[in-house]
Structure 1
Amino acid sequence: MKLFTPGHVILLISIHFATVCGYLNLFLSLPEVQRLLGLRAELFYVRNGIINNYALHFVVLIPSKIDSLHFTWESLVPGQPVSYSMMLETSNSAALPPPKLNISKTGLIPNTLQTFAVSLPCSGTVEGEVDITLIINITLSHENVTTLTFRRKKICLQFEKSTTYISMDSMPQFSNSVNIFYIAVCCALVLILILAFVVTLYYIKDKKTRRTIENGSGPTTTTTTTFLAALPRNSVNASSYGSFRRMPSYSLIDERSKDLQDRIAELTVQRCRVRLSSIILEGTFGKIYQGSYTNEDGTEETVIVKTVTDHASQVQISLLLQEGMAMYSLNHKNILTILRVSIEDHTAPFLLYPYKNYKNLKHVLAKCKVSSEGVHHTLTTQEVVDMALQIIQAMQYLHKKHLLHKDLAARNCVVDDKLNVLVADNALSRDLFPSDYHCLGDNENRPVKWLAIESLLHKSFSPSSDVWSFGVLLWELTTLAQQPYIEIDPFEMAAYLKDGYRLAQPINCPDELFAVMAYCWAMSAEERPTFTQLHVCLQEFYAQLTRYV
Structure 2
Amino acid sequence: LPEVDFALLCREWRRDDNLPPDIVAVKVLKESASREAEEDFMREVDIMSAFRHTNILSLIGVVLRDSGCSPWMVFEYMPHGDLAEVLRCNENLVTPSVIEKPHNSIKYESLLSVALQIAAGMQYLAGQRFVHRDLACRNCLVGTGLTVKIADFGMSRDVYTCDYYKIGGSRLLPVRWMSPESVMYGRFTLESDVWSYGVVLWEIYSLGKQPYYGQSNEEVVKLILQGIMLIPPEDCPQVIWDLMRSCWKTEPRDRIRFPEIYSRLKKAQEDAEESPIVSTLPFPSQQITSPSSTSTSSSSSSCISQSEHLPRPPGGYPIPNLSAKTVELLDSENYLLPQVPPASQF
Is residue 2:60 matched to residue 1:339? yes
* Counterpart pick for 1:366 among 88, 108, 118: 88
Distance 1:296 1:545 in 2: 44
What SS does the aligned partner of 2:11 have? Answer: strand
Matched, 1:383 2:103: no
Matches within 5 A, 1:41-440: 281-295=1-15, 297-299=17-19, 300-309=21-30, 311-344=32-65, 345-355=67-77, 357-368=79-90, 378-440=105-167
Once residues 538 and 384 of structure 1 are traced to their aligned partners in structure 2, the CA distance between those partners, rounded to angstroms, is 11
CA deviation after TM superposition for structure 1 residue 317, in Å: 3.8
How far is 1:324 from its partner?
A: 4.7
Q: How far is the alpha carbon of 1:451 from its aligned partner?
A: 0.9
Identity of aligned residues (%): 29
- Alpha-carbon distance in structure 1 between the residues aligned to 2:68 and 2:88: 38
1:318-376 alpha-carbon deviations (Å, 9 max, x no partner): 33333354222211111112121223333333210022535221221121399xxxx99
* SS of residue in 2 equivalent to 1:540: helix
Q: Whose radius of gyration is greater, 1 or 2? A: 1
Distance 2:2 2:145 in 1: 25
**Residues 287-327 of structure 1: CA deviation (Å, up to 9, x unaligned):** 32221222255533221111245544343343333335422
The verdict on how the C-alpha distance between 1:395 and 1:294 changes in structure 2, with shifts beyond 3 A counting, is same
2:9 alignment partner AA: Y
Q: Which has the higher contact order (CA 8 A, sep 6+)?
A: 2
CA contact (8 A) 1:440 1:490 kept: no
Q: State how far apart, in whole Å, the 1-side matches of 2:104 and 2:131 are.
A: 32
- Secondary structure at the aligned position of 1:529 is classed as coil
> Counterpart of 2:146 in 1: which secondary structure?
coil
Contact 1:327/1:425, CA 8 A, preserved across alignment: no
Report SS of the residue matched to 1:339: strand
Deviation per residue, 1:96-136 (Å, 9 max, x gap): xxxxxxxxxxxxxxxxxxxxxxxxxxxxxxxxxxxxxxxxx
Which secondary structure state, in structure 2, belongs to the residue aligned with residue 411 of structure 1? helix
**Cα distance change, pair 283–363 in 1 and its aligned pair in 2 (3 A):** farther
CA–CA distance in structure 1, aligned partners of residues 146 and 91 of structure 2: 16
Give how far 1:384 is off. Answer: 0.9
Counterparts in 2 of 1:324 and 1:497: CA distance versus 1, 3 Å: same
The aligned counterpart of 1:267 is: none
**Which structure's residues are more often strand, by fraction?**
1
Alpha-carbon offset, residue 533 of structure 1: 1.1
Looking at structure 2, the residues matched to 496 and 356 of structure 1 have their Cα atoms a distance apart, in angstroms, of 35
Q: Are the counterparts in 2 of residues 282 and 288 from structure 1 also a CA contact under 8 Å?
A: yes
Q: Name 1:528's counterpart in structure 2.
A: 255
Q: Secondary structure at the match of 1:334?
A: coil
Q: Distance in 1 between matches of 2:69 and 2:208?
A: 35
Distance 2:216 2:113 in 1: 33
Unaligned ranges ≥5, structure 2: 93-101, 277-346
Residue of structure 2 in register with 1:446 after alignment: 173
Q: Partner amino acid for 2:258? A: F
What secondary structure sits across from 2:106 in the alignment?
coil
Match of 1:542 in 2: 269
Cα distance 1:446–1:547, how it changes in 2: closer, same or farther (>3 A)? same
Contact 2:27 2:72 in 1 (8 A): yes
- In the alignment, residue 367 of structure 1 is paired with which amino acid? C
Q: Deviations over 1:203-227 (max 9, x none)?
A: xxxxxxxxxxxxxxxxxxxxxxxxx
Tell me how large the CA RMSD over aligned residues is.
Answer: 2.5
Report if aligned partners of 2:139, 2:150 keep a CA contact under 8 Å in 1: yes
Alignment of 1:468-507 (within 5 A): 468-507=195-234
In structure 1, runs of 5+ residues without a counterpart are: 1-280
Change (3 A) 1:443 1:320: same
Aligned AA (1:379): I
Secondary structure, aligned partner of 1:359: coil
CA contact (8 A) 1:369 1:376 kept: no
Alignment check: 8 A CA contact 1:324 1:425 kept: no
Distance 1:537 1:439 in 2: 35
1:373-425 per-position Cα deviation (integer Å, ceiling 9, x unaligned): xx996322211111111111111111111211111111111111311111112
Kindly indicate whether the alpha-carbon contact (under 8 Å) linking 1:407 and 1:426 is maintained by their aligned counterparts in 2: no
- Quick one: distance in 2 between partners of 1:405 and 1:533? 18
The CA distance in 2 between the partners of 1:478 and 1:447, in whole Å, is 20
Instruction: Give the deviation of 1:506 after TM superposition.
Output: 0.9
1:121-164 per-position Cα deviation (integer Å, ceiling 9, x unaligned)? xxxxxxxxxxxxxxxxxxxxxxxxxxxxxxxxxxxxxxxxxxxx
